[in-house]
Amino acid sequence: MSELSEVEALYREVVLDHYRNPRHRRALDAPDAAATVHNPVCGDQVRVEVEFAEDPTEPGRRRLAALSARTRGCSIAVAAGSVMTELLAGRPIGEATGLRAELRRIVEGRSPAPGTDRRLRAFAGVSRFPSRRRCALLAWEALDEALQAPGPGS
């Protein structure tokens, strides 16, 4: 199977599944932080909510106990938000930065790092459509905003 065929198969399997069956889409009961981001180019919108908990392995360090991504937009934006919540739930906050950077590399057309989660690799085809790159990163932008300005508003 060619590399392009593998990317297309992964896209169909992961992106379309997460678009049709988005995970963690409901509003959180008591979010500690939230942000809404719009893409004026295409009209996509995503609201990310986060609940924090102390990391049991490192006292004083927080982890992402629960996440929600409610996206109104294209299949890429919806799927990317769903994948983000699935990848990050329960993880230390610092891991979000590395995973977002890896997704950015992928949608910009650069090779993924060895061991990159297949759910992120599924967005490789987005690199062929520069106008869609922000769609794949929108939920991650909202998460960054939420983490920079904690508070249930926004």
Tens digits of per-residue pLDDT, 15-40? 889 999 999 999 999 999 999 999 99
User: Within 10 A of 43 (CB to CB), how many other CB atoms are there?
Assistant: 11
Fold (CATH) for 3-148: Sufe protein. Chain: A (3.90.1010)
- E strands of 39-153, at which residues? 45-54, 62-72
pLDDT at 4 over 70: no
93, 53 in Cβ contact below 8 A?
no
The model's pTM is 0.89
pLDDT at 2 over 70: no
Question: Which tens digits make up the pLDDT trace of 61-115?
Answer: 889 999 999 999 999 999 999 999 999 999 999 899 999 999 999 999 999 999 9
